[in-house]
Structure 1
């Protein structure tokens, strides 16, 4: 497996199709416990300032490039990724696979009403899907009761949609209590499913301008966006010097 090292994090270089068919689907069929990180710029930024979080990401079975910033950074390293693998798309493909294979899904995250709407949308899109359970994301990582209830539900797929870093921290805290399960942090995917957040048009994505589209839609993101751009510029400059 080819990987690209960015900030000491090994990121699998593959396409979504190959990732699903050669890695995730076989592990689901074997009921092999799996931890997946769909990394973006925020992942790298948090890993830089939080050593424990960085170790959590490094411990994942798979880290793939889920954000446009990582794609751009890899180009400057002259190790371009084959494809950006977005959380929302991966989640829908996995749910479809679960329906066909008779596997069950659990959805953790989002505000209470968003979680409810997202699950209803899943049931509408995939009428034969087995929902093992769901819970909103207004939780404390220290609250072990959610993991206890989830374990009793025995899901095959656990989609965790919490704030960046928190979702991976939750998974790392509790995944070893389970005999099986594919744990995957999906960011704002439940909001997209629930229709509470608009997807970026593909034309903007092709131009690597998703950040600008989101900024225009929500100007309050300005300072956050500038921090991300500053981080990526520093990453690129450091890579150029090393080269």
Structure 2
């Protein structure tokens, strides 16, 4: 499927809304096709900008969506506006709803064992028509074949990978060719949110585009990661200036 792209620091984002993205992925699911989805925030874009190998890895994805408001603002600055954020957690929930309607099969990969268990319980409670065909926590040897073999045997329609970046993108990119079908999507800390381990920002904070600030208040240890935001902004301004010459 072709689509309009917006390039930010060498990372190509799909120009889409949340509803359009879910419809697009739903079409892949109906056709039993494979797709690799990256949900990228400024931190991921900056990492790709600084690491050519990671950038090449992201380029293998079928779709890269704007997970953070910083990406949306950057696109606006570059004169290639994106309509809205298409976040990992929101896609996770929307795809679970779609899976519930269509009785799709899921595989869950990531988080601590106890968080994964709570995530499974939440999915089974809120989306009773979904079948979880397998799961594995995020602590495993990289070359461990068990996970890959289980996915091959069970053929889930959706594989949610919550290993955090860059590990989740690397895991998917190295293995997706082994599978016959399925949407493979990296969703960071989404299991923690669904499991109730981490509170998502209230809707008013989300509408004001300061969800990042709420997360920082909840988890002060994230301050070092937040330092990527001004660096990202500076790089985007540099792209803007370079492009205008």
Q: Would the TM-score normalized by the shorter structure come out above 0.5?
A: yes
1:146 aligns with 2:143: no
Q: Distance in 2 between matches of 1:2 and 1:53?
A: 22
1:18 aligns with 2:17: no
User: How far is the alpha carbon of 1:241 from its aligned partner?
Assistant: 4.3
Q: After alignment, is 12-21 or 199-208 more displaced? A: 199-208
1:45 aligns with 2:73: no
Q: Deviations over 1:51-108 (max 9, x none)?
A: 2211111111111111111111111112111110111111111122122222100000
Residue in 2 that maps onto 1:128: 129
Residue in 2 that maps onto 1:167: 168
Q: Is the 8 A contact 1:76 1:240 kept in 2?
A: no
| CA RMSD in angstroms, aligned pairs only | 1.4
1:74 aligns with 2:75: yes
User: How far is the alpha carbon of 1:42 from its aligned partner?
Assistant: 1.9
Q: Is the 8 A contact 1:42 1:164 kept in 2?
A: no
Q: Secondary structure at the match of 1:171?
A: helix
User: How far is the alpha carbon of 1:32 from its aligned partner?
Assistant: 0.3
Structure 1 residues 97-108: aligned runs within 5 Å: 97-108=98-109
Q: Is the 8 A contact 1:105 1:130 kept in 2?
A: yes
Q: Deviations over 1:162-197 (max 9, x none)?
A: 021100100011111111111000111100010001
Q: Secondary structure at the match of 1:27?
A: helix
1:232 aligns with 2:233: yes
Cα–Cα, structure 1 residues 49 and 143, in superposed 2: closer, same or farther, change >3 Å? farther
User: How far is the alpha carbon of 1:217 from its aligned partner?
Assistant: 2.0
Q: What are structure 2's unaligned runs of at least 5 residues? A: none
Q: What are structure 1's unaligned runs of at least 5 residues? A: none
Q: Distance in 2 between matches of 1:213 and 1:197?
A: 11
Q: Distance in 1 between matches of 2:141 and 2:236?
A: 33
Q: Is the 8 A contact 1:200 1:214 kept in 2?
A: yes
User: How far is the alpha carbon of 1:127 from its aligned partner?
Assistant: 1.2
Q: Is the 8 A contact 1:160 1:187 kept in 2?
A: yes
Output the TM-score relative to the length of structure 2.
0.94
Q: Distance in 2 between matches of 1:141 and 1:46?
A: 21
Q: Distance in 1 between matches of 2:9 and 2:73?
A: 14
User: How far is the alpha carbon of 1:236 from its aligned partner?
Assistant: 2.3
Residue in 1 that maps onto 2:216: 215
Q: Is the 8 A contact 1:87 1:187 kept in 2?
A: yes
Q: Where has structure 1 moved over 4 Å in runs of 4 or more? A: none
Q: Is the 8 A contact 2:65 2:87 kept in 1?
A: no
Q: Secondary structure at the match of 1:196?
A: coil
Q: How many residues align?
A: 242
Output the TM-score relative to the length of structure 1.
0.94
Q: Is the 8 A contact 2:13 2:64 kept in 1?
A: yes
